[in-house]
Amino acid sequence: MATSENQPSLSTAGNDQLVLTKKAMDPRRYILGKALTTLTIVFTAFVLIPLIAVVVNVSSRGVNQLKWPTTFTELPPPPGLTEGGFGHAIIGSLLTLGVAIAIAVPFGVIAAVYLAEFGKGTRIAYLVKFSANVLTGVPAILMGLFAYSVVVIPTGRFSAFSGGVALAVLMLPIILRTTEEALRLVPNEMRQAALAVGSTRFQMVSKIVIPCALPAIVTGVILGVARAAGEAAPLLFTAFNNNFWSTDVWGPVSTLPVLIYFFSIIPYKASQDLAWAAAMVLVAIVLILSVTARFFTRVRTY
């Protein structure tokens, strides 16, 4: 049967699949597709350019200041001197992030499970979701003021624990919302199959739904940690600073963001160079966490 020039021309290819030939493609749709593809590339470049500029600028100025192992094993030098490092700030950052993870992950995951599995449509679920949305837009410095009022003032001291509390509040909405979305992506057929063989709802959630959504949950946790790792404002009110080695969770500690802040305003080139080196290490940590999160989003267990 002959095909007219005004009708779409179809050809059979592979497993009897109908493939639209180029002659049948509407020129206007073709031009629109090319234009939108070009705009997508342009806007993607606009997003990538600031990221690349930050990474290149920080790396070019910080890589020359890294001295192995001095930079990672020694304390900062007195103002004006050149020898020293910021190993204590790395330890302090790990302490505060560890406290934040220990607080935010259980609360965030449990709240997300309630929203996705047990509290659908309830008023409590609405309030929890609304609160998470509000917390997402709250400035980080207010998290520090909150932790200062509920931890620092009652205890009478700055501490890594209070810094962890501030970062936990910062991480909580990210973990909650990403975990909730991950749980909702688990196919309902898996839930129905688990209930059909006699499992309780709790068993279905704990042994089927959560393990299936675990890669995405881990991704949310990593993104929350990456978000909190670079914050200095909350830690200025909570963990404050410490120029010496410390692993005391209940005492003040130095962290990389706060060290970068203080050293960048000191009018000595050696201190500013050390701040650039610390900034490079911090950027590398955040990039590694982000890449790790992307890796886990590619993992599927269902």
Domain ranges of the chain: 70-297
Residue 122: predicted pLDDT: 86
The distance of Cα 234 from the centroid of its chain, to the nearest Å, equals: 17
Which pTM was predicted?
0.80
**What token pair was written down for 75?**
């304390």
Q: Which of 172, 185, 257, 184 is nearest to 220 (CA)?
A: 172
Peptide bond into 69 cis (omega under 30): yes
Residue 159 Cα distances to 92, 104, 236, 250, angstroms: 10, 18, 11, 5
Which residues, 6 or more positions from 129, have their beta carbon under 8 angstroms from its beta carbon?
A: 115
Q: 70-297 has which CATH code?
A: 1.10.3720.10
Tens digit of pLDDT at every position of the chain (302 positions): 444 444 444 444 444 444 444 445 578 888 888 899 999 999 998 888 988 888 888 888 888 878 888 888 888 887 766 678 888 999 999 999 999 999 999 999 999 999 988 888 788 888 988 988 888 888 899 999 999 999 999 999 999 999 999 999 999 999 999 999 999 888 889 888 988 888 888 889 988 999 888 888 888 898 899 889 889 999 999 998 888 888 899 999 999 999 999 988 888 888 888 889 999 999 888 888 888 877 776 655 55
Rg (CA), the chain: 26
Q: Are 143 and 238 in contact (CB under 8 A)?
A: no
